[in-house]
Each structure stands twice: as structure tokens, then as C-alpha cells.
């Protein structure tokens, strides 16, 4: 079976590898060249680059894929809707792989926010020196939020020229930018938080893959408050499947 797998993260590549081992013809699609390089390093066929509806539809049609497997980040809502629509237009299965949530217990240092504006308001009330570990896409909104006006912001982002250019355009100085490729260990996070004298950490509930738990443990260990942005609701019929169950589901649906 020929499958297009949208995957720029570690768990997405793991899923693509498992599908390949099952004998399926798999093409991994990533946003960045770096993501494609990682996939190819794991023996996977890969392409990279942003796609609009037309490009995705053309790719699905031209290579006659049997189904699309969406293993993108839980917060990649735009890609999710684009992929769902393209599959609907071509009448091929759209199958969503959702990584498991952390299911963190309640803790006085962990503050939950529904969205970025609420996260900014919470973070501003908790401290002066705020570290954003939420990626670069939301930085324009963070940079102009009124609650951030008198705060010292630090951003941890991917070390690519495009991302660094975006940070500089938004007014972030070199001493505010931590450009590094994760995931990071708890020890690495603790050392960085202490070095920067961070008073609040903002993160997304990205699940068990990607270093979120390590950030939480680092904050708790250093008694630093954390603002966690809740993830968008998952597709109920796919939530909490194991990798094996999901692959069986893919094969049943196609």
C-alpha cells in the first residue's frame, strides 16, 4: 500500500519506519530540509517544503497514494485541516496519528492556559524573566502582547536561518535567543534555566515525545512556575491508540 506520511517529528518518523517494515510504500513529507534529512537517515523516502491545498492535492493524485497518514505536531491545526480537505476532495482515507498526552497531575507550579493570550497573561503575573519554548510561529503575537511590554523575554527556537531572521525582525536580541535542536534532557534544561535566571517557563503540552516532561521536571526541581498551553482536542476515534493498534487501523481502513 502506498502511503503519504506527514511527519516532521520523532514519533512521526517512528510511525513511518513501522509502516515501512510492514511492507508499505511510504513517502515522508516534512516542512524543513532538516526533517527530510533525518527521515532519509532512517532509511525513509522523504520530500520537504510547505504545501498549500493545490500542491498537496497534486502530490496525492500524481503518485496515486492509497491514504494520507497525518502524524504532524498536535498543534499543527492548519496542516491538519488542509490534509483532511485534500483527502476528502480525492476520496482517499485521512488517518490521524495523535501522540499520547502527558496527563500531568495537578501541581501549584503548573498553570494551564487555553491559548496564547491567556498564557501571556498568566506568565506576566508569575515573573519578570520569561522563557518561551513554544516554537517560532507564535512569536509575533508574543512580541506585541501588552502583558509582555515590561518583561524580559527569552525564546528557544530551532537553529535555522529563517527562524533566526524572524526572531531578529521581531526585535529579539542575540542574548534573548537560544537557538538549539531538541529534545533536551532535564539536566540541560535545568542548567539553561539557571544560567538565564528564568522565572517562568512557557510550554505546549506536546505529549510524551519531544522533551515536554523534561521541561516540567526541570521547573519542578528548580521551583520555577510553568505555564502550559493546552493542546487542541484530539480526534476521539484515534486518541490513545498504541503504534501497533494504529497501524492495524490504517490497514483496516485502506
> For 178-235, what is each residue's pLDDT tens digit?
999 888 999 999 999 999 999 999 999 887 777 899 999 999 999 999 999 998 876 6
Q: Is the dihedral of CA 191, 196, 200, 204 positive or negative?
A: negative
- The model's pTM is 0.84
The answer to the question of residue 105 being in a domain is no
The answer to the question of residue 75 being in a domain is yes
Mean pLDDT for the stretch of residues 57-80? 91
Same domain as 141, residue 80:
no
Q: Is the dihedral of CA 241, 9, 196, 202 positive or negative?
A: negative
Same domain as 191, residue 212:
yes
Cα 145 to Cα 149: distance, rounded to the nearest angstrom: 7
DSSP per-residue string spanning 38-82:
HHHHTT-EEEES---HHHHHHHHHHTT-SEEEE---TT-HHHHHH
Helix, strand, coil percentages (3-state) for the chain, rounded to 5, are 45, 20, 40
Could you report the per-residue pLDDT of 155-188, keeping only the tens digit for each? Answer: 999 998 989 999 999 999 999 999 998 889 999 9
CATH number of the domain to which 41 belongs: 3.40.50.1980
The answer to the question of residue 249 being in a domain is yes
Q: Is the pLDDT of residue 241 over 90?
A: no
Same domain as 123, residue 158:
yes
The answer to the question of residue 186 being in a domain is yes
Same domain as 197, residue 136:
yes
Same domain as 218, residue 141:
yes
The share of the chain scoring above pLDDT 70, in percent, equals 97
Q: Is the pLDDT of residue 102 over 70?
A: yes
Q: How many domains does the chain have?
A: 2
Same domain as 86, residue 10:
yes
CATH number of the domain to which 155 belongs: 3.40.50.720
Closest alpha carbon to 80 in 207, 227, 234:
234
Query: Which residue range(s) make up the domain with 238?
Result: 2-99+234-253
Using the structure block, give the residue that is written with the C-alpha cell 485502506: 254
Is 83 within 8 Å of 70 (Cβ atoms)?
yes
The answer to the question of residue 21 being in a domain is yes
Confidence of residue 238 (pLDDT cuts 50, 70, 90): low
Q: Is the pLDDT of residue 132 over 60?
A: yes
Confidence of residue 239 (pLDDT cuts 50, 70, 90): very low
The answer to the question of residue 175 being in a domain is yes
Same domain as 243, residue 221:
no
Amino acid at each position: 500500500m502506498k502511503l503519504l506520511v506527514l511527519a516532521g517529528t520523532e514519533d512521526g518518523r517512528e510511525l513511518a519506519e513501522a509502516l515501512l517494515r510492514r511492507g508499505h510504500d511510504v513517502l515522508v513529507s516534512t516542512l524543513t530540509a532538516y526533517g527530510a534529512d533525518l527521515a532519509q537517515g532512517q532509511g525513509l523516502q522523504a520530500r520537504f517544503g510547505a504545501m498549500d491545498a493545490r500542491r498537496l492535492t497534486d502530490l496525492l493524485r500524481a503518485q496515486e497514494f492509497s491514504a494520507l497518514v497525518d502524524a504532524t505536531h498536535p498543534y499543527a491545526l492548519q496542516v491538519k485541516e488542509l490534509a483532511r480537505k485534500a483527502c476528502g476532495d480525492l476520496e482517499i482515507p485521512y488517518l490521524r496519528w495523535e501522540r499520547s498526552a502527558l496527563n500531568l497531575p495537578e501541581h501549584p507550579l503548573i498553570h494551564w492556559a487555553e491559548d496564547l493570550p491567556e498564557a501571556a497573561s498568566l506568565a506576566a503575573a508569575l515573573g519578570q524573566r520569561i522563557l518561551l519554548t513554544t516554537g517560532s510561529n507564535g512569536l509575533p503575537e508574543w512580541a506585541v502582547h501588552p502583558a509582555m511590554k515590561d518583561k524580559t523575554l527569552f525564546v528557544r527556537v530551532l537553529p535555522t536561518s529563517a527562524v533566526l531572521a524572524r526572531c531578529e525582525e521581531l526585535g529579539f536580541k542575540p542574548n534573548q535567543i537560544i537557538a538549539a535542536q531538541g529534545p533536551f534532557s532535564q539536566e540541560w534544561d535545568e542548567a539553561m534555566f539557571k544560567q538565564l535566571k528564568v522565572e517562568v517557563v512557557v510550554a505546549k503540552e506536546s505529549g510524551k515525545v519531544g522533551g515536554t516532561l523534561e521541561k516540567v521536571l526541570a521547573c519542578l526541581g528548580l521551583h520555577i512556575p510553568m505555564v502550559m498551553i493546552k493542546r487542541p482536542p484530539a480526534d476521539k476515534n484515534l486518541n490513545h491508540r498504541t503504534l501497533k493498534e494504529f497501524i492495524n487501523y490504517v490497514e483496516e481502513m485502506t
